[in-house]
Structure 1
């Protein structure tokens, strides 16, 4: 069900939600959090689709803020158009799309506050360009967790290093979530005999993909060894990691973005399904934890400085 509410107010949107809930029997008690999504001037559908998929694991109220197309007549005064999506159009969530225009645009936090679920955690997600300082952005200050996605930015590496300068507990980035499986496989490989230190690491991948830099930063910080990054414009995300030890190399190789080969000294080659992670998977994983990610913080603020740009 999709209900359009042109030229409205958040108070009217809230009243309509209550009415729909009373009429349809839907309840908010099962919602575990409020997910605030700021898409800026981008299309809302990709973010809503990912949030809907993630809501099947984390039932939530999704509030999406996007700037409305603005004409000359309403450029000064502005207003608010809204849309409510329920049922099959909202996954296991309630989706509220807010399209402020004119003078109403800067009031994003004021628009959101009346629609927040009471006594529920708040997560703010910027699917595209993040603010200069997420923790001090009006939508970030109200949230326990703040999720950015440097992968979707025009200058990913610059954004990642800027986020490192302003990082606060509760900040996270989906470029970090995309390397969860890589970190697990590499940690498991090193957790087997012989228990030798790693002398050098080489990480290969797409030239500007921020996950390449974060994986290299994590390895540099955790293993305390030199890390080299090999960049390829035609690569798909991360393609190869080599851990050099005295007894030989541990290599995790994924040239096709789908299946990886794990090669270790004196062991047969292992083939592992390792597809490039989709947006909905990464968002669902981030919503599983509302406490600060200390490993990400150390990787971003300390390890990234050890990776050549």
Structure 2
């Protein structure tokens, strides 16, 4: 069911949802409210990602975008039932209303349920102090979408608040799992680590910071030409080197002391998979916060600045 509500209000949107629920039998057991603030990004890509996320986590999803500078008004499109998991509310703010997103959103939040805010494109300097960000338990940014990803990620580290996370961290999930397993299986002391990534790659900078925090050794970040962001990681031990090197966008070569070289799965994941994974946990991610603290320290020490 699709309901168009041009020049509407939050109270009318609420009434229309209640009426539509009674007609089409939309489930009321929604997990949370997710607000996606679409600024400077592909609206269709964001819409597809939240639909995928909603299939795993039925929720109320509110897509926020700004229209023109003309007369002040709020346009809405409601989607319920059929192919939509839960409820989707698309809001377009016009005129002076673009300065008052939070006051319109507040009455549309599900009562007694967590709120998640996602900025798939541009995001505020301090998400925790943003009017929309203050509505949420979790705030998800994506430095990868910024004009200067490393600078954006460092800015996130410098203004980190409880509940913040960035999809740059989610992109590292498989890398972190493979490296953690390798260290556990080959427990020789690690003397130094090297992360090789394409110039300007924020994920490489954050992976180096995570290794710095977890290993407590020198971690060098080196630029390497390529098409896949992080191109490889080398952990140097007295027994030999542990290496994880990309061979293409889906696989990597793994080698370790006394172990034959083998190919392991290391796929690059799309936005749908990233946001779905991030929504599987709403509690604090201590490892992320520790890695971001290490990133801030490395930046202050001048270790990562040459990678901008």
TM range (shorter): over 0.9
* Structure-to-structure mapping, 1:172-251, within 5 angstroms: 172-193=165-186, 195-232=187-224, 234-251=226-243
Gaps of 5+ in 1: none
Distance, in Å, in 2 between the alignment partners of 1:271 and 1:42 is: 35
Does residue 48 of the first structure (1) align with residue 40 of the second (2)? no
Does residue 85 of the first structure (1) align with residue 79 of the second (2)? yes
Per the normalisation by structure 2, the TM-score is 0.94
Q: 1:213 to 1:88 in 2, by over 3 A?
A: farther
Q: RMSD of the alignment, in Å?
A: 1.4
Distance, in Å, in 1 between the alignment partners of 2:177 and 2:56 is: 22
Distance, in Å, in 2 between the alignment partners of 1:8 and 1:240 is: 52
Match of 1:142 among 135, 140, 146: 135
For the residue of structure 2 that corresponds to 1:40, the secondary structure is coil
CA contact (8 A) 2:157 2:295 kept: no
CA contact (8 A) 1:41 1:66 kept: no
1:283 corresponds to: 275
CA contact (8 A) 1:200 1:225 kept: yes
Distance, in Å, in 1 between the alignment partners of 2:66 and 2:219 is: 42
CA contact (8 A) 1:254 1:261 kept: yes
Give 1:40 shift: 2.3
1:32 corresponds to: 31
Count of aligned pairs between the two proteins: 301
Does residue 308 of the first structure (1) align with residue 304 of the second (2)? yes
Distance, in Å, in 1 between the alignment partners of 2:213 and 2:22 is: 53
2:13 corresponds to: 13
Runs of 4+ that moved beyond 4 A? none
Give 1:304 shift: 4.5
Q: 1:83 to 1:89 in 2, by over 3 A?
A: farther
1:274 corresponds to: 266
Distance, in Å, in 2 between the alignment partners of 1:107 and 1:64 is: 15
CA contact (8 A) 1:240 1:255 kept: no
CA contact (8 A) 2:140 2:167 kept: yes
